[in-house]
Amino acid sequence: MHTKLRTAGLASLAFAALALLALPALAETLMFKADLAAASTVPPNDSKGTGVADVTYDAASKKLTWTITFSALTGDATAAHFHGPADATANAGVAVAIPGKASPMTGTATLTDAQAADLLAGKWYVNVHTAAHKDGEVRGQVMKAK
């Protein structure tokens, strides 16, 4: 009887240990990147501006974190946003506002389930706006980093 209880107890302990080891796979942090260019705006413009958005998403907390750098814009940035859902050939509304107007822009936001699904599906883009290009001077589709 004690042997059966001990075996059952050890089996339960082993199962619990395996379950704990599996947790990091559920709490995955994903890396994304967007290369910002004037040619990627819809419609494209002739700006010489460029930039990069480095983005991470923690699936467990639904926390989005970003650093966006840019240079050679026609003037100061007036706003920046994550937009979606849209593919690279379409425009969409603001999904998350990006505070700040100088490079680098850094920040965090907690996403809804719908926003997270659009991000993971590649349906978000970053857009940096200027006075000369009110609809966006540089843009880049947010894609999983390779």
Ranking 8-22, 70-84, 128-142 by mean pLDDT, the lowest is 8-22
The separation between CA 37 and the C-alpha centre of its own chain, rounded to angstroms, equals 18
Closest-CA residue to 47 (of 130, 144, 115, 123): 130
Could you tell me the CATH number of the domain that includes residue 57?
2.60.40.200
- Global confidence as pTM: 0.81
Mean pLDDT value across residues 125-135: 97
Our count of domains for the chain comes to: 1
Asked if residue 51 has pLDDT above 70, the reply is: yes
Range of the domain at 56: 27-144
Name the band, by pLDDT with cuts 50, 70 and 90, for residue 27. low
108 falls within a domain: yes
4 falls within a domain: no
d(CA 113, CA 33): 20
Computed over every residue of the chain, the mean pLDDT equals 88
Sequence-separated (6 or more) residues with CB below 8 Å from residue 1:
none
In this predicted model, what pLDDT tens digit does every residue of 52-88 receive, in sequence order? 999 999 999 999 999 999 999 999 999 999 999 999 9
Residue carrying the six token digits 């389930």:
113
10 falls within a domain: no
12 falls within a domain: no
84 falls within a domain: yes
